[in-house]
Amino acid sequence: MHEVRGKDGVGAKMDSMELEREKGITIRSAATHTEWGKHHINIIDTPGHVDFTIEVERSLQVLDGAIMIVCASSGVQSQTITVDRQMRRYNVPRICFVNKCDRTGANPYRAVDELRSELNLHCALVQIPIGVEDAHEGLIDLIEETAIYFDGAHGDTIRKASIPENYKEQVHKYRLKLLEVLGEVNPSLFLLLLLENDKKETFPDKATLKNVIRAMTIERKLVPVFVGSAYKNKGVQTLLDGVIDYLPSPLDLTHYAIDLTKVGLIHVYMYVHTPCIRNHGQQTKKKKNKGEDDPNRKVPLSTNKSDPLLFYAFKLEQNPFGQLTWVRVYQGTLRKSLTIQPNNEKGKKLRLSRIVRMHSDELQDINTAHAGDICAMFVTERISHVISPLHVPDPVVSLAVKPKNKSDMDAFGKAFERFVKEDPTFHVEIDDHTGSCIFSGMGELHLDIYIERILREYKVPCETGKPRVKYHESITKKVPFDYLHKKQTGGRGQYARIIGYFEPVDGTPNPVKPFVFINNVRGQAIPPQFIKSVEVGFKELCDKGPLVGGPVVGLKIVLEDGVTHEVDSSDLAFRNAAQGCFRSLISELGSRVSEPCMDIEICVPEANQGAIVGDLSTRGMIINGISYSGKNCVIRAYGPLDRMFGYATDLRSLTEGKGEFTMEYKDHQFVDSQAQESLVKQYQEFLEKKD
């Protein structure tokens, strides 16, 4: 990475896309690596903007540890809350870096307090800054009890010195706080630390303290906090020391896989993201057990280079040289020219033509990769998809898109097919009534970026409609059904009768399960293959509901009985019966429409607070809180996405370009009856116009 550059420079090294440099944001994750001391560190830099949250999701599932970045002046923001939730989801140990200690309004102590209060983290400073804002000079290591300064134009010369006299009392205070946090996390261990010392009033020795902090960090019970400013590398070197000292290496964690089958001498594994702590310094021994021959049993993976190979492909990316497949190696040795059989493509074998190590958009050819390595590979044939157990949020906004010139249709199709493959949160569907392409994604910015990329990378200018939110439909009443589908047109007809009832899963706009189908049919009243057809029929209808064309969620269907005809019953007949049944009862089910609502965070100069709050109120937003940082205020609000379209332009106007905001999907909420009537009417008019 070498140098960190701000928006006034040419952009950060890891932001290699032209769009990233222009907008000053990270759009897609980038990988790099570095040698630090005697260690090799693989690094993935991920976006902070919530519209590109999938990049964080798929990176965290292959990482052993993470650095959470928090701004010293802004503190915990909505993106921080999102990343915290993602780190917890994938059980990733972390350390925290409070960045921008040289910025106006910087207060790293307040940022740490917010980590505790808003994220409920057991965190403790292991460093404190020497000065903040313009006076930021360096930091003090609370464990080593040393002042550290970063000299030179880029802070690449480390100078250690004794602690300044005016900081000694503060150092003692925060060393005590560090021990207090350790005591909160593990009281018995804290007591042991004190008993191991000759004098009860002294601190544990440095090595013991580091070992305890490391153990608690790997167990995800503690988050050590570092401070500095990445702009001139103040604190970056000691942060890398912290990665080595406190985050796990591949030797510290045991990962598991399901042993599916054997191909020759090579096991075919399916990786399961369930890391646990390995006994330090010991390799996991494979023990023969009662379930040895169980094809679905989980087996622990080792870091032994000679063991059967397992790597996990977690990202696809189109490169000027072909399709680049990002992988994390978990076991064995990945070699150039190796022939592999992906476990999601039966009978298909691929040869690895190249293995590369990545430094942003630069590629370095390597011959082998081992457990813990993150690299990429080119294969002789395209991999159609990767197995992905990660959490993929549903899209919240959609947009009708078409190329301006009909001659560009082929290039347009190639573009969105590629982007859909690369990004699981980007969806494309063809509207049944208009034939136009509907792009769906995580927000306006998300879709705008893809439309801009189609123009730049495929030379296809596009026309777009107005953005629309992704409404959901839900039922609120329990209703029995006894429906007969009978159709005779000469020759073999269609006959299917189904009996049961509909009911809501839980009656909320955010059900715990989107669809539940229960088969309570006794005997052979309906043959099993037709029961599956009933389920498929209901599921197909749920993709596009009858009220506003949104997906039906929270629907529970219990099938209790039915009747078949020896000639006219078929899969199609029972699928049609399911759909006809639901449509016939739509007016009795108490169906409701719900809309996506967002958590909104707006940072503006304090002088603009009144205008912003007033504007949010007119949009029907709920103000959840206002905090202050220097001369700026941070407003947190919640409300419907539909009323926030175009807000970036309005915010620029209200603040003379000095405001910024982020939005993140929170949940769906039912619209009121008047709004629902209007939405249903609009949808029906739309259908009639296109028929």
- Return the bridge partners of 558, or none: 501, 518
Structure tokens, 500: 């049961």
The strand pair at 472-474 and 468-469 is best described as unpaired
Q: Residue 279 above 70 pLDDT?
A: no
**Cβ(412)–Cβ(380) below 8 Å:** no
Structure tokens, 451: 């439309």
Question: What percentage of residues in the chain have a pLDDT greater than 90?
Answer: 56
Beta strands per DSSP E along 293-433: 298-300, 310-319, 322-331, 333-335, 339-340, 350-359, 362-366, 368-370, 374-379, 397-403, 427-430
Residue 344: the pLDDT is 52
Run of H or E including 647: helix 647-655
Residue 13: the pLDDT is 52
Q: Residue 260 above 60 pLDDT?
A: no
**Domain span at 448:** 398-466
Claim to verify: residue 491 and residue 456 sit in the same structural domain: no
Cα gap 447→425, rounded to integer Å: 10
CATH number, domain containing residue 454: 3.30.70.870
Claim to verify: residue 120 and residue 233 sit in the same structural domain: yes
Residue 187, Cβ density class (10 Å: 0-12 exposed, 13-18 middle, ≥19 buried): exposed
Q: What is the mean pLDDT of residues 389-406?
A: 87
Higher pLDDT, 1 or 338: 338
What does the H/E/C string look like for 303-328?
A: CCCCCCCEEEEEEEEEECCEEEEEEE
Per-residue confidence band for 620, with pLDDT thresholds at 50, 70 and 90: very high
**Cβ(103)–Cβ(135) below 8 Å:** no
Residue 632: the pLDDT is 86
Residue 53: the pLDDT is 87
**Cβ(220)–Cβ(91) below 8 Å:** yes
Claim to verify: residue 541 and residue 652 sit in the same structural domain: no
CATH number, domain containing residue 353: 2.40.30.10
Residue 388: the pLDDT is 46
Q: Which of 178-182, 184-188, 209-213 has the lowest mean pLDDT?
A: 184-188
Q: Residue 1 above 50 pLDDT?
A: no
What's the number of CA atoms in the CB half-sphere (13 Å) around residue 240? 16
Claim to verify: residue 144 and residue 70 sit in the same structural domain: yes
CATH number, domain containing residue 604: 3.30.70.240
Chain-centroid distance, C-alpha 507: 28
Q: Residue 343 above 70 pLDDT?
A: no
**Polymer length of the chain:** 691
The per-residue pLDDT of the chain, averaged, comes to 86
Claim to verify: residue 109 and residue 204 sit in the same structural domain: yes
Claim to verify: residue 457 and residue 517 sit in the same structural domain: no
**Cβ(149)–Cβ(161) below 8 Å:** yes
For residue 178, tell me if it sits in a domain.
yes
665-683 pLDDT, tens digit each: 999 999 999 999 999 999 8
Q: What is the mean pLDDT of residues 167-185?
A: 91
Q: Residue 612 above 90 pLDDT?
A: yes
Least Cα distance to 361 among 4, 29, 30 occurs for: 30
Please tell me whether residue 441 adopts helix, strand or coil conformation: strand
Residue 79, Cβ density class (10 Å: 0-12 exposed, 13-18 middle, ≥19 buried): buried
Residue 359: the pLDDT is 86
Least Cα distance to 397 among 449, 450, 445, 432 occurs for: 445
Claim to verify: residue 437 and residue 541 sit in the same structural domain: no
Q: Cβ of 550: how many Cβ atoms within 10 Å? A: 23
Domain boundary among 590, 611, 643: 590
Per-residue confidence band for 288, with pLDDT thresholds at 50, 70 and 90: very low
Q: Residue 234 above 80 pLDDT?
A: yes
Claim to verify: residue 233 and residue 146 sit in the same structural domain: yes
Query: How many structural domains does the chain have?
Result: 5
Least Cα distance to 624 among 113, 118, 112 occurs for: 118
Residue 208: the pLDDT is 84
489-509 pLDDT, tens digit each: 777 889 999 999 999 999 899
The strand pair at 622-629 and 632-640 is best described as antiparallel
Residue 260's identity, in one-letter code, is L
Per-residue confidence band for 480, with pLDDT thresholds at 50, 70 and 90: very high
Least Cα distance to 350 among 341, 358, 359 occurs for: 341
Residue 82: the pLDDT is 87
Higher pLDDT, 689 or 354: 354
Residue 269: the pLDDT is 47
Residue 277: the pLDDT is 60
Q: Residue 14 above 80 pLDDT?
A: no
Looking at the chain, the number of H-run helices and the number of E-run strands are 15, 35
Cα gap 367→356, rounded to integer Å: 8
For residue 387, tell me if it sits in a domain.
no
Q: Residue 157 above 60 pLDDT?
A: yes
Run of H or E including 259: strand 253-263
Per-residue confidence band for 319, with pLDDT thresholds at 50, 70 and 90: confident
Q: What is the dihedral of CA 263, 267, 273, 279, to 10 degrees?
A: 180
Claim to verify: residue 432 and residue 501 sit in the same structural domain: no
Claim to verify: residue 408 and residue 322 sit in the same structural domain: no
Structure tokens, 669: 């909420």
Question: What percentage of residues in the chain have a pLDDT greater than 70?
Answer: 86
Residue 266: the pLDDT is 38
Cα gap 51→68, rounded to integer Å: 18
Domain boundary among 533, 563, 590: 590
212-229 pLDDT, tens digit each: 999 999 999 999 999 999
For residue 50, tell me if it sits in a domain.
no
Cα gap 475→435, rounded to integer Å: 29
Q: What is the mean pLDDT of residues 451-460?
A: 94
Claim to verify: residue 333 and residue 271 sit in the same structural domain: yes
585-609 pLDDT, tens digit each: 988 999 999 999 999 999 999 999 9
Claim to verify: residue 580 and residue 636 sit in the same structural domain: no
For residue 679, tell me if it sits in a domain.
no
Least Cα distance to 457 among 657, 350, 339, 320 occurs for: 320
Q: Residue 200 above 60 pLDDT?
A: no
Q: List Cα–Cα distances, 256 to 204, 292, 310, 495, in angstroms.
A: 36, 15, 10, 49
For residue 37, tell me if it sits in a domain.
no
Instruction: Kindly write down the DSSP assignment for every residue of 473-506, as one continuous string.
Output: EE--S-EEEEEEEEE-SSSS-EEEEEEEEEEESS
Residue 275: the pLDDT is 61
CATH number, domain containing residue 188: 3.40.50.300
For residue 547, tell me if it sits in a domain.
yes
For residue 384, tell me if it sits in a domain.
no
**Cβ(78)–Cβ(662) below 8 Å:** yes
CATH number, domain containing residue 554: 3.30.230.10
Cα gap 469→671, rounded to integer Å: 13
Q: Cβ of 452: how many Cβ atoms within 10 Å? A: 15
Chain-centroid distance, C-alpha 527: 42
For residue 541, tell me if it sits in a domain.
yes
Chain-centroid distance, C-alpha 50: 9
Q: Which one-letter DSSP state was computed for residue 116?
A: H
Residue 139's identity, in one-letter code, is L
Q: Residue 133 above 80 pLDDT?
A: yes
Q: Which residues contact 315 (CB under 8 A, 6 or more apart)?
A: 29, 58, 325, 326, 386, 422
506-524 pLDDT, tens digit each: 989 999 899 999 999 998 8
Structure tokens, 161: 């010195």
Per-residue confidence band for 115, with pLDDT thresholds at 50, 70 and 90: very high
Q: Which of 35-44, 246-255, 347-356, 620-629 has the lowest mean pLDDT?
A: 347-356
Please tell me whether residue 609 adopts helix, strand or coil conformation: helix
Per-residue confidence band for 356, with pLDDT thresholds at 50, 70 and 90: very high
Residue 18: the pLDDT is 79
Per-residue confidence band for 278, with pLDDT thresholds at 50, 70 and 90: low
Q: Which residues contact 196 (CB under 8 A, 6 or more apart)?
A: 204, 208
Least Cα distance to 480 among 401, 604, 588 occurs for: 588
